[in-house]
Structure formats: C-alpha cells, structure tokens
Amino acid sequence: MRFLSDNTAAVSPEILEAIAAANHGLEVAYGDDPWTQRLDQVLGEFFGAEVRAFAVTTGTAANALALATLAPPYGAIYCHPEAHIAVDECGAPGFFSGGAQLERIAGEHAKLSAAALAAALDAHSVSVHSVQPAAVSISQATELGSAYRPHEVAALCEVAHERALHVHMDGARFANAVMHLGCHPGDVTWQAGVDVLSFGATKNGALAAEAVVFFHLGLVRDFELRRKRAGHLLSKSRFAAAQLLAYVESGMWRRNAVRANAMARSIGEAAGKRLLHPVEANEVFIDLGAAGKAALRAAGFEFYDWGAPASGAARMVVSWDQDERHAAALCAALTAI
Amino acid sequence: MRFLSDNTAAVSPEILEAIAAANHGLEVAYGDDPWTQRLDQVLGEFFGAEVRAFAVTTGTAANALALATLAPPYGAIYCHPEAHIAVDECGAPGFFSGGAQLERIAGEHAKLSAAALAAALDAHSVSVHSVQPAAVSISQATELGSAYRPHEVAALCEVAHERALHVHMDGARFANAVMHLGCHPGDVTWQAGVDVLSFGATKNGALAAEAVVFFHLGLVRDFELRRKRAGHLLSKSRFAAAQLLAYVESGMWRRNAVRANAMARSIGEAAGKRLLHPVEANEVFIDLGAAGKAALRAAGFEFYDWGAPASGAARMVVSWDQDERHAAALCAALTAI
Amino acid sequence: MRFLSDNTAAVSPEILEAIAAANHGLEVAYGDDPWTQRLDQVLGEFFGAEVRAFAVTTGTAANALALATLAPPYGAIYCHPEAHIAVDECGAPGFFSGGAQLERIAGEHAKLSAAALAAALDAHSVSVHSVQPAAVSISQATELGSAYRPHEVAALCEVAHERALHVHMDGARFANAVMHLGCHPGDVTWQAGVDVLSFGATKNGALAAEAVVFFHLGLVRDFELRRKRAGHLLSKSRFAAAQLLAYVESGMWRRNAVRANAMARSIGEAAGKRLLHPVEANEVFIDLGAAGKAALRAAGFEFYDWGAPASGAARMVVSWDQDERHAAALCAALTAI
Amino acid sequence: MRFLSDNTAAVSPEILEAIAAANHGLEVAYGDDPWTQRLDQVLGEFFGAEVRAFAVTTGTAANALALATLAPPYGAIYCHPEAHIAVDECGAPGFFSGGAQLERIAGEHAKLSAAALAAALDAHSVSVHSVQPAAVSISQATELGSAYRPHEVAALCEVAHERALHVHMDGARFANAVMHLGCHPGDVTWQAGVDVLSFGATKNGALAAEAVVFFHLGLVRDFELRRKRAGHLLSKSRFAAAQLLAYVESGMWRRNAVRANAMARSIGEAAGKRLLHPVEANEVFIDLGAAGKAALRAAGFEFYDWGAPASGAARMVVSWDQDERHAAALCAALTAI
C-alpha cells in the first residue's frame, strides 16, 4: 500500500487515448502541429484570459525555465525554504538562470505571506553589490499540502509588483489546490496577479506533460529560446500537447484531483491530533513518531519520512489512481494507533 | 507528400504497446522502477559491453548533457560545422557545459577525419589562455546522411584519446547508420573507442526517448546530477525506459531503419547526378535548382531547402512510417526532372 | 571624519614603493616574472606550509574563484546569512560556479558554529534531487567584526571534512583577525583545516591585491583556468605580486592591522552598552538609534546604517590610515551621547 | 632583446605619478570618488561623444563583459578566427554570457569584411533551433597588426545594425591603430557605428586599466551588475580611473603608441619580402623559417612562433618602452638574413 508520491501514479486512460488519437500520419515537428497550435486557445479558455502556453516534460523544467525568463543572472528569487525549487531540483534555478540566487522566507505550512515578503524586501539593501530582487515563486498547493487563498496570492503579487518583481507559481499540484479551494483557475493565477504558472499535469494523470502558462505575454520569446537550448522543445510535440488538451478538455484534471483530495482528507481526519498541516490538496503530514511509523510500515504501508531525521513526521501522498481500499486501510490503521 | 523530417513521424505501434503495458499500478518514481532498472542490462547486451544508460526525451538534451559531462566549462569541443550541436541546438552545449567552446573542423559529407582532427589539435596552442581540448563529437549518421565506417571512428578515437580527449557520438540516426553499414552496434561505438553515445529512438519510432549510453563508466555520477538539474529526470521514468526497451527488444529499431533506408536509397538513385552526398541512412540531399524545387513542390512534395539560400539544394528525409507510394512518386518525379 | 569602510583607505607607502621598484624593463607577462614566481615561497613561509598562491585584484574574485574550484555547479555552499559572498557580491558564487546554491546558517556575531553546521548537514537530505553539499565558507574576521578562534575553525573543518566538504575562508580582513587573536597565520588556516584562503591585502593597505592561497594543492589547475577565463589573470602580473610580497615581507600587514584594531577597540569601549558585537578586528557595530545617528552625523561623522532600516544600528570601520584625531573625536562623541 | 609582447612593458611614468597623486585621504569606494566620476566626461571629450565608461583591469574582462551585455546566452557572436576572444581568453565570452556561441568568419590580415559578415549572416538560418545572431566583435588593431579604416568599420556596422546586431570593438591596441590611421578616435568608433569599445591602456603603458566605453547608453545598467558579480568592480576604484585619466589627459596614449609604431614599421621594412602582414600598429609578423628563427634567437632576440608549428612565422611586438637600440639591432639582423 504505497503512499510515497503522486509521481508513482500510472497514466490516466484519457491521456493514453489522446496520445493514440494523435498518432497518425506525418505532422510538422517542434510545435507546428494542430495539437500544439490549439494549446493557447484551450488553456486561455481554461484560465479565462489570453495566455501563451508551452509544453515541457517535467516540473523542474517548467519551474526553472519560467524563473530564468523572469530573473536575470544577478537576480534574487524569493521562495519558501520548503519550496521544490529550493530543495528538490538540484539547483536548477541557478543553472537555468545563470546564477540567480534563492532567498528563503519562512512561513507557516510552507506558505509565504505578503507581510513576510515585504519585510524581506525591505531588509534587502539593493545596490550594485547585491543580487537584484527579480521574482517570487510560490507553490500551489504547497509542499506541505496547504493551498493559498486567492486573496493571499493577490496580496503577495501586490507586494511583488509594487517593487517590480514578477510572480511565478509552481502548480505541480494546481488541480488539487483549485479543487480544494472551489475557485476558478483564474482566481488564484492571473486574477490575483501571477505572471507565469507551471501548470502540472503529470502527477495528476498525464504521462509527462507540464504547461508553462504565461499571463504576462512579453516574456515569451526569451522563454522559447531558453526552452530549445535546454533540450525541452520536443520534436514530436503533438504528443505533449495532446496530453495537455486531454487533461483540460476531458475534465480529468478535475475528476482525478477530486478523487485524490477526498482520500487525503479522510486520512487527515483519521490522523486527528497528529495531523501537522491542514489537508488542502492530496498530501497528508502526520506526526507518527518512530513507533507509529514502524507500526504502519509493518502493516504494509509505504511512505517517506519528512523533515529532520528524528522528527517523527511522515508524508502520505494520495495518487489520482490510489486504491480506495488502501486509503481506507490507512485511515483504520491511523485511528488504531 | 511530406519529406520534411523524420521528426514528423508518428509513434511505432510497439512503443505505444510498451507504454500501455507499463501502465498499471503505483511504481516508485525517478527511475527506481523495474523498467528503468533493466536498461543497463538490455542496452549492455545490445552493444555487447558493460554500459550505463539513461533516458532523456530529446536529442538536444542527450547531446548537451553528455558533452557537459565530458568537457569542463573552459573546454573545447571539436565538431563538424554541420553538426547538429553546432547549428540546431540553440547553443545547448555552451549552456549545459557552462561555456565550453565549439571548434569546427570541415570535412566532406559532414564527416570529421582523423587527419583533420589531428591537424586541428596540432594547430591549437594549448596554454592557460586557450580553451582546453576536451571532447570530440561526431554524428552517426551525419547531418548529411553519410555514415562513419568502424575504422573511421576508430581512427578518430585514437587521435582523440592519445591527447586525452573524450569522444561523443550523436546517434540521433544511429539505427539507420548501423543498418546501412551492416555492422554490430558495438563496432562503431565502444569497440572503436566511443566514450558516450546519444542513442536516438525518437526519430525512428519512439514517442520521446533517447538513451545516453556511457561506455566510460566513471563519468556517470556527474551526469546523473546534471540530468536532474536540467529537468531531464522524468518522474514517471518507467514510460521512457519502456520505450527504449521496446525499441531494442522488439527489433523495431532494425525494422524501421531498414524500411526508411531502403526508400531513401531509391530516392537517391532516382536523383542520379543531382545527388549531393552518398545515401547511407534515411536522408537524401539533391541539387534541384530553383526550378526543380518549384516543380516538385507544385507536384505536392514537401521538403526543406538546404544550405545557402541560393544553393538550389534540397533535403528529403524518409520517416520510418513514410508511405511507400509517396516515395515511389518522388522517385518518379525526380527521374522526370 | 569618515568611518564608512576600510575600502576608502589610501595605499600604504610600502606598496607604492614596491610597485615602483618592480617598474623597470620588459618582463614576461601573465605570471612568468620573478615577483610572481616568489609568491608561493614567500606566502608558504608566512603560513608555515606548502602553498600555491595566486593574485587577483578583488575580494569578490578571490572568493568566487575559490568557491567555483571547490563546488560543482550542482553544489551547495554553506555560509552565514551575513557573509559577504551572500549579500555583497551580486551573486558572484552562483555565476563563477555555474549555479551552486548558497545555504545560509545563522549564528551569533556572524559566526558559524560547528554544531550548527553539523545540524544543517544532517537536515539536508542528499539525493539526486538535492544540491550536493560541497563547501563551507567562513569569514575571518566576520562581517560583524568578530574573529574565529583556532579551535572554532578546527571544529568547523572537522565537521566539513568528515562529510567530504571543502572549507574556504574569506580573509578580506585576515590580518585584523590574526592580530586580534595573537596567533600565527597558520593557526587559523591550514593547521585548523582550511583548504583555501582569500587572503586580503587591499583593505589593509594594498592598491588592488588579494591572494587566493591553496593549502589543498590538488585543486590548482582548475583554478588557474577559471581565473584566466574570468579575466582575472593580469598581464602585468608582476605589479600584483609585488604588492603581495611587500605586504608580507615589509611587515606592513601587521602594522596596519594593529593600528586600525587599536582605534576600533577604543571606539568599541566608548560605545559602552550600545556595542552590538565584540570588537575583534577593525569594525564596530553600535546601536545608536535614530537620534544618536543624527547627532553623530551632525557632528561630521560619516558611517553606514546597518541591518533593517529601523534598527538604529550603525557600522564604523577604521581604516589602516585613519586619522587618530578622528577616532578620538568619535570616542568622545560616543561617550557624550 | 625581448619582442615577446607589449604585455612585457613596464608602467609609463605618467601613470605612476597619477596613482601617487590620487593617494591621499579616505575616498568613497567602488567608484563614488572624484576620479571615477570624471571618466565619462574625459572619455566623452576624447571620443567626441556622450559615453559611459567603466574601468576594469584586464582586456579579457573588458571584452567578455561587453559581449555579455550585447549577447543573450543563446546569442551568436561573430568574429575572426584569430580574434583574441576566440583564441586567447580561455572561453571567457562563453562564460560571461552564459553560453553564447562564437561564429568565426575568415578574412585577410585578421580583418572581417562587411561582405563576409553579410554572407555569414545570410547563411545562418535563424529559428528557435539556432543561436540568435547578436553581436559582431572586431579588433582594432587586429591580432595580426593590421588596422581597420573608418569606412571598413562603418560598412561592417551597417551590415550588423541592419540586422539588429550590436558591434563591439576590442581595442587592446586602439591607440596604435588610431596613430597609424591618423584619424580621430571617434572616426573608427561611434562615428562608424561601434556600440561598445574595449579601450585598452595596459599594453600601451598603464599598470592595469582598460575602459569599457559605451556609445550605446541603454546597455549600461546590465553591464554594471555583470561587472560587480564578475569581481571586476574595484574597491579602490580611484586608482584605476586615475590611470585612465592620465592615459588620455597627459597625451601619453599618443606618445607611447607613436614611438612603438615607428619601431615596428622599421622592423617591418627590414623584413622586406618576408613580411606577412602590413604593419599598421606595433606588431610585425615575419616568415623567418626555422633557420631564420634559430639565427635570431642565437643572436639574443626573444619572440614567439606564430601559427602552425611548422609555419616558420614569427611575431615581433614592440612595447611602448622598447629600447631603440634593440629595435635597430633587430632591423640589422633581419636585413642580414
């Protein structure tokens, strides 16, 4: 019974069908195909705004390419210490940007607050000697399973834009957050001021497809060249675009997220007082202690430790295709501890 | 009738079947899955050597990651002026390596010769002021559709290794070259001294899968970290590995290449004296002149101009799934010019 | 009465004399001159160890080149949040290394402790997804005017070396620290385990000369190439080497530091309870409050605010050529507040 | 009798006097000093245009920083195969720019022609797959001792600007070229369309000072940040600025160049038919053959071989402070061969 990561998930049937449907005949490569050419329109309708959208195959690529477009090599990128870009991408933002520096700002449940951002920017004495504040990156849902409310995103963006910083959102679990919030995808992105979104589909059922969605259209040409030279422009682009189109158009982005969120919420409830962070997506963080972890593992549950080695915390991630009996078993086991 | 590129091809059915076959249950992500874990063994048997093999999704990623592993930021990488890395990757080798410099060496049919390489290395005065010769990159088949014989590769590698340079082979069309040569895959790679191969599968029928194959095993850890931070470590790695396994194990690498090569050879024969380079893979370069191009285009053939705008040269690429009637029509049209 | 920075200082007469003495005849450029060729020996005797030493013109160059030699592009470099490399070098470590990431560790008086370093390394989960712990950088004296004791450096180096990290020391004010500690230059460097030192001379009286001193000799060739391609190999190298030789051989490194330290200590005593950090070099940090700052500025003293805008803290730096009457006046003014 | 390089020269007395004259009192660091603040005006008058000028200590830094400001990481920089940036800077342009690619264009006497540049640009098929043409870099005087006429520079700049490329001039020997041409410094720079000049002073008598002179003012802020993070912003900037001011205001730039040029011309005349390139600055290239070289070396002349090992070519460089008797002796020896 595997709760290791939503990256362990299989591919949703809608996606494989879309790939098969696109698989006929010779199509012009590198994006001049009918699937890719529909991306801007379909994602534009999805978000309710004019967008430019580009497919890549990994979240790290999406995030780092977006940030390299937003920040010069001498830029500072503000993020939470738990941000995926800071701890799980092997330094990709520094690589893609040519050296931009991450500035970490703490915050509860892995969320940045507008006040903390403003304070950090106030404390950063900007001169030719310092890195130049350039971008803020927030994760929706966060790495601790919480979700930013639209007004929280808006407040952050206001602080950022007042000082000429761009805002990037790492939406590896964007669908989960939006389904939890019950809002429109535009509400927590462009309506709140987000300039660029890494719109993840892979964890939620795609094979390998993430869209970098620009709400700020002026940055696009630089992005396209950076994507190519980073080896992230796919020759058979139609198959990446077809995944993203199916993700949105079939409604599976919603179905899969709702399903995973519901199981995660049950697990969170079963965790009771041991729950460490609000469950606002498909991840659950539980203070199990060494004994609790051992008991669950003995019972056949797989999951990762979280935080400092001695912390006793565990992370349970529910995949879109998680077996409901496994989730129920986990709830029962948690209640029994 | 589209002869633009083998990137326009669809996905071979063996590949889609392999993806579907891998699509069940929760598998550990990022390569700790049974498909990825068989890669080294299966590709090792394919090449007849101990190898370490890594999947990525594009040829540019494969080439640039391999070269960044072989060359320091102050390194020189020797290649042909027509090399894909020099003209079609938007500067990827410079990006991935942190600034390594391409040194171009001319040669007939886009091939480097051992003598020309030796002369270039002799002429390069090496000191703290110069870039440091680090790697040679050759393409098999070349960008002009020719193929290196095993003894040609061996002679190049000998020159390179004598002076402590590593050798990289861009094998975007490796299968086509090997089928033309009628040799064993090992004959033109490790047996001849190649250190790292970009083993392409995408053009020849995969969805998006290239293997970086290390015959020189000491370089591997650096590669793995570079791959991750470049966003080229796939979360659902099983599906990339499954493509590569099917590519080799089903024999489709051979079938698809043989089929495309045969059509290309016919087209080359039909081109007669207009043929610009020997047809040793699936590409045909023809001196059509402006009138010839116009005539073919009017007849419904799609292809790219090649070389200088006024050169009159055209490139025809045969895909693995090219319609044989289209190839026959092209032969007829060429004969008629 | 200027206490802005020791970078405002003039050049010590010993330095100008050494430059003039080197200024005759045609000497081979780029370091094959008699002055540069004495550097290793003279600095080796100074430190009591075999060293390789290289002149550059700025502290930023010294630090960033040293760190790029110690850390791969996917490396993590641990430092204090106040470290010059983190706040005053416009992202130079990221640039020179090709993207290495700074990991900040808090500590009193801008000092890292061995325990805090060990805890940070323990908490850093190392895998292909993370940056790879590679180097620790400490400043001697620190940016808050404190000095590491030899046993403190040794404890840090022990933690670092146990986990295969290299240790770099930013010694922009090395002479001031050593004079305060009363120890031998070797005691706080190689004897304690430091691998590479940025040995500053500019602030303490040189025109533009810092030595990168390697106690770990295996890293040197990489450094030499990085220095050249960063534009930090001087054509007329003799004049940089002559400065460093004079700095050490004339004893001015000691005289100038002793003089500045003494004035700084007096100012620190005059600050009384307002003193924020122990005065262990030539910098004094004082909690003046807005009114205190205004009063001192009205009285003709120039200095920089420090820390957050509203903090009330001020930094006074004593240069090697500070007018003693100005220092006395500052002491009197502080006593009077 | 040393004709190895003008980098072997000593420092001109005007420069040391200027350094000494600037050496009093505490001056604000990093360029907020009266010397640095006069640079724009004094160099503006020198060139007859509004300029922004920045001091650095090496030609490699000047060139690479200028080019990084002109070319994005995915840019192409066009230059001659003999260009210092291509062969003598250890890959600095690639490093500073984050990977920009050098495209070499052959031309007689190390000069690019407008026609060859236009042809190269025509042949470069620009798309998302290619590096993006961004800048042209020419050397004045060239690495083979020739000088571009104003109309040649203008023709090159016209081709470049028509296609939105910037033009950089490597003026390591700018004074020598201008004195040979008998033109105004503005004639071969901004009047002809040059955007940025590396204005060298070191070879011609400074200690370590080159000015990056921007005639295109919009690029300046990016340059300032790149200079800082590359470690090329000097803390005691006054001493670099003082050198550049003295270089121009004392007239030594002219005197020293005239003197060296005259000796070089005599040597070129003595070389007779063995002369390989016109002597239009202070360098002389002679086809001595192995025997000729050996004879001259036996007679006490020091110089470097040039070109391929077996070429028989030698380079003689005359420094500003060359002993005239040595030059006369070399002339006599050449006549005698």
Give B95's contacts in chain A (Cβ within 8 Å).
229-230
Find the mean pLDDT for residues B161-165: 97
A36-43: long-range contacts, CB 8 A cutoff, minimum separation 24: A36/A237, A36/A238, A36/A240, A36/A241, A38/A241, A38/A245, A39/A211, A39/A241, A39/A244, A39/A245, A42/A244, A42/A245, A42/A248, A42/A249, A43/A199, A43/A211, A43/A213, A43/A244, A43/A248
Q: Does B2 touch chain A (CB under 8 A)?
A: yes
Mutate to test the interface with A, among B26, B30, B85 (most CBs of A within 10 A): B26
Give B125's contacts in chain D (Cβ within 8 Å).
87
Predicted local distance difference test score (pLDDT) of residue B42: 98
Give the Cα separation of D164 and D158 in Å (integer): 10
Out of A11, A203, A235, closest to residue B202 by CB: A235
Predicted local distance difference test score (pLDDT) of residue A199: 98
Predicted local distance difference test score (pLDDT) of residue A309: 72
Q: Does D72 touch chain B (CB under 8 A)?
A: no
Give B129's contacts in chain C (Cβ within 8 Å).
30, 228
Out of A30, A73, A226, closest to residue D74 by CB: A226
One-character DSSP codes across C48-80: TS--EEEEES-HHHHHHHHHHHHS-TTEEEEE-
Residue pLDDT, tens place only, A73-99: 999 999 999 999 999 999 999 999 999
Give D5's contacts in chain C (Cβ within 8 Å).
29, 235
State which residue of chain A sits closest to C93, comparing Cα positions: A99
Residue pLDDT, tens place only, D114-143: 999 999 999 888 999 999 999 999 999 999
Q: Does A63 touch chain D (CB under 8 A)?
A: no
Out of A8, A65, A239, closest to residue B207 by CB: A239
**Residue A101 clears pLDDT 90, i.e. is over it:** yes
Predicted local distance difference test score (pLDDT) of residue C319: 97
Residue pLDDT, tens place only, C231-290: 999 999 999 999 999 999 999 999 999 999 999 999 999 999 999 999 999 999 999 999
Give the Cα separation of D19 and D207 in Å (integer): 10
Predicted local distance difference test score (pLDDT) of residue D173: 98
Predicted local distance difference test score (pLDDT) of residue B38: 98
- Axis crossing angle, helix A59-70 with helix A220-229, rounded to the nearest 10: 130
State which residue of chain B sits closest to A99, comparing Cα positions: B98
Q: Does B103 touch chain D (CB under 8 A)?
A: no
- Cβ-in-10-Å burial (0-12, 13-18, 19+) of A21 comes to exposed
The answer to whether the CB atoms of A26 and B56 lie below 8 A apart is no
Contact B97, B67 (CB under 8 A): yes
Tokens representing C274 are 């307002």
Q: Does C155 touch chain D (CB under 8 A)?
A: no
Tokens representing D67 are 């080019």
Question: Omega before A230 cis (within 30°)?
Answer: no
Give the Cα separation of B239 and D19 in Å (integer): 67
Chain centroid to CA B106: 19
Find the mean pLDDT for residues D3-23: 96
- Averaged pLDDT score across all residues of chain D: 96
State how far residue C97 is from chain A, nearest Cα, in angstroms: 8
Confidence of residue D218 (pLDDT cuts 50, 70, 90): confident
User: Around Cβ B49, how many Cβ atoms within 10 Å?
Assistant: 15
The answer to whether the CB atoms of D230 and C92 lie below 8 A apart is yes
Residue pLDDT, tens place only, D99-122: 999 999 999 999 999 999 999 999
Predicted local distance difference test score (pLDDT) of residue C337: 84
Give A234's contacts in chain D (Cβ within 8 Å).
none
Give the Cα separation of D202 and D9 in Å (integer): 9
What DSSP state is assigned to residue A193?
A: T
Predicted local distance difference test score (pLDDT) of residue C325: 97
- Which chains are adjacent to chain B, needing at least 3 Cβ pairs under 8 Å? A, C, D
**Residue A311 clears pLDDT 90, i.e. is over it:** no
State how far residue A90 is from chain B, nearest Cα, in angstroms: 5
Mutate to test the interface with A, among B57, B301, B315, B318 (most CBs of A within 10 A): B57
Between strands C101-104 and B196-200, the pairing is unpaired
Find the mean pLDDT for residues B232-257: 98
Confidence of residue B308 (pLDDT cuts 50, 70, 90): confident
Tokens representing D63 are 């060139």
Instruction: Please work out, in degrees rounded to the nearest 5, the angle formed at the alpha carbon of residue B169 by the alpha carbons of B164 and B174.
Output: 155
Q: Does D56 touch chain C (CB under 8 A)?
A: yes
Predicted local distance difference test score (pLDDT) of residue D275: 97
Give D102's contacts in chain B (Cβ within 8 Å).
101-102
Residue pLDDT, tens place only, D61-90: 999 999 999 999 999 999 999 999 999 999
The answer to whether the CB atoms of C231 and D236 lie below 8 A apart is no
Give A89's contacts in chain C (Cβ within 8 Å).
129
State how far residue C128 is from chain B, nearest Cα, in angstroms: 6
- Cβ-in-10-Å burial (0-12, 13-18, 19+) of D68 comes to buried
Find the mean pLDDT for residues B286-299: 95
Find the mean pLDDT for residues A223-235: 97
Residue pLDDT, tens place only, D165-192: 999 999 999 999 999 999 999 999 999 9
The answer to whether the CB atoms of C99 and A104 lie below 8 A apart is no
Q: Does B127 touch chain A (CB under 8 A)?
A: no
The answer to whether the CB atoms of D99 and B94 lie below 8 A apart is yes
**Residue D307 clears pLDDT 90, i.e. is over it:** no
The answer to whether the CB atoms of D5 and C60 lie below 8 A apart is no
Contact B157, B193 (CB under 8 A): yes
Give the Cα separation of A325 and C119 in Å (integer): 40
- Averaged pLDDT score across all residues of chain B: 96
- Which chains are adjacent to chain C, needing at least 3 Cβ pairs under 8 Å? A, B, D
What DSSP state is assigned to residue C302?
A: B
The answer to whether the CB atoms of A232 and B234 lie below 8 A apart is no
State how far residue A83 is from chain D, nearest Cα, in angstroms: 25
Predicted local distance difference test score (pLDDT) of residue C124: 86
State which residue of chain C sits closest to B226, comparing Cα positions: C74
State how far residue D155 is from chain B, nearest Cα, in angstroms: 22
The enclosing H or E element of D250 equals: none
End-to-end CA distance of chain B: 17
Low-confidence ranges of chain C (pLDDT < 50): none
State how far residue D204 is from chain A, nearest Cα, in angstroms: 30
Contact C271, C220 (CB under 8 A): no
The answer to whether the CB atoms of B73 and C228 lie below 8 A apart is no
Predicted local distance difference test score (pLDDT) of residue C1: 93
Tokens representing D257 are 């160049």
The answer to whether the CB atoms of B232 and A58 lie below 8 A apart is yes
Contact C201, C253 (CB under 8 A): yes
Q: Which residue has the tokens 């105004």?
A: D184
Find the mean pLDDT for residues B227-239: 97
Give the Cα separation of D174 and D176 in Å (integer): 5
Residue pLDDT, tens place only, A3-53: 999 999 999 999 999 999 999 988 999 999 999 999 999 999 999 999 999
Q: Does C130 touch chain A (CB under 8 A)?
A: yes
What DSSP state is assigned to residue D89?
A: S
**Residue D308 clears pLDDT 80, i.e. is over it:** no
